[in-house]
Amino acid sequence: MTNVTIIGAQWGDEGKGKVVDWLASRADIVVRFQGGHNAGHTLVVGNQTYKLSLLPSGLVRGKLGIIGNGVVVDPSALLAEIERVSAQGLPVTPETLRIADNAPLILPLHAALDGAREAARGDRKIGTTGRGIGPAYEDKVARRAIRMCDLAEPNTLSAKLDELLLHHNTLLAGLGAPTFEKTALLENLLQLAPKLLPFMEPVWERLSAAKQAGKRILFEGAQAVMLDVDHGTYPFVTSSNTVSGTAAAGSGVGPGAVGRVLGIAKAYCTRVGSGPFPTELHDETGQLLGERGHEFGTVTGRKRRCGWFDAAMVRQAVKVGGIDGLALTKLDVLDGFAQLKICVGYEINGETHKHLPAGMAAQSAAKPVYEVLEGWSQSTRGARSWAELPAAAIKYVKRVEELVEAPVTLLSTSPERDDTILVQDPFAS
């Protein structure tokens, strides 16, 4: 058996939560390795719906969850999430959740700076969630971040806050936003410390022991490849690396532990926030995809932009993300369309391209080149085998495989965890 890393192959919101939840039954440990509470996974279990932002999805399966050092953690948001799922009957304790001692923290000043910057950008805003993710990652790289381990050292915490406030208050004042006072921040962190420290440990050590013991580890990514800070549609991206290699750096394991990489993609395409979206539909078809797919952000509630499947973009994600196989979700949303379209490339300023270029202007100018496929009238919702799918749906999936140059190893046909067609078990070596 091997470990598995799950990443998004589009712009996020591909249904990773359900896939992680479904695969967690085969794993021993589930690890979040990047992002913050700007990402959300919705898990439907019977008549219960869990909305997770920071907590690893495997907790719902009773698996040990780990928040790795690559995640930026908002202490208040994490505790609120723990309280919320506990009220739903899913208790989270230090026996079921561990947090890396070197994970950076998100403070209220990060969210304030995030919001002030977006306001200052006006019409050129990036479309962040305003939750302080970017500024927190900036502090990490600038070596001024407050980390989980600092909560156990009040003197260190106090000194670090001095440096942090010198930087952030200067920026906030320059943007015309309210500044922060040290005493209130310090008191708040010291009050939160006793609630958080029992979850803390050097998780790299636990993961090393798990690897030696032959335990199966599922690495759970947030966002998606096209939101990667290096490889995505920059600057309309998140502030962390979302590709599979980050699973190693973001959790404290070697690259060999990443295992097989499963990319998640919808059978169509969605995006939240600003930025280029070549296959976006502004017509009734786009509206219908959104209504059928219940396309609203798990974290923000923002309406998602919808469009046809972009095979050129997913092929790019497969290559740079190191994806071995694809999990195609929400196939049932395409039921009833007479025709379906798949983007196979782009026309940019009169030239044909097989991938999205890095330049911002070129990305904005990209027009999709479509291939038209026959749709199907039969329902695929709830199908659990190839035999239950209409021939046209199978043809659509096979064409996706050819265009993205990766096999579809798992197919999801509804939000229910067991409405899944498994072609190849990702954990099989």
Distance CA 299, CA 77 (A): 12
C-alpha atoms less than 13 angstroms from C-alpha of 146 in its C-beta half-sphere: 30
Distance CA 194, CA 151 (A): 9
User: How far is residue 32 CA from its own chain's centroid?
Assistant: 10
Query: Please, which residues bridge with residue 352 across strands?
Result: 347
Torsion of CA 299, 301, 307, 313, to 10 degrees: -20
User: Token pair for residue 236?
Assistant: 């309309």
Q: Enumerate the H helices of 213-278 as residue ranges.
A: 246-249
Contact 56, 39 (CB under 8 A): no
Q: Which of 104, 129, 102 is nearest to 115 (CA)?
A: 129
Q: Which of 109, 120, 114, 110 is nearest to 175 (CA)?
A: 120
CA terminus-to-terminus distance, the chain: 5
Distance CA 395, CA 217 (A): 33
Place of tokens 């199907």: 376
Q: Which of 11, 95, 104, 2 is nearest to 54 (CA)?
A: 104
Distance CA 165, CA 427 (A): 46
Q: Which of 345, 367, 342, 366 is nearest to 355 (CA)?
A: 345
From the list 37, 41, 168, 231, the catalytic residue is 41
Contact 115, 107 (CB under 8 A): no
Backbone angles phi, psi at 18, to 5 degrees: -65, -45
- Cβ neighbors of 287 (< 8 A, separation 6 or more) are 306
Q: Is 13 an active-site residue?
A: yes
Backbone angles phi, psi at 68, to 5 degrees: -80, 175
Q: Is 41 an active-site residue?
A: yes
Distance CA 184, CA 193 (A): 14
From the list 13, 101, 139, 310, the catalytic residue is 13
Distance CA 9, CA 226 (A): 7
User: Token pair for residue 105?
Assistant: 């923290």
**Residues known to be catalytic:** 13, 41
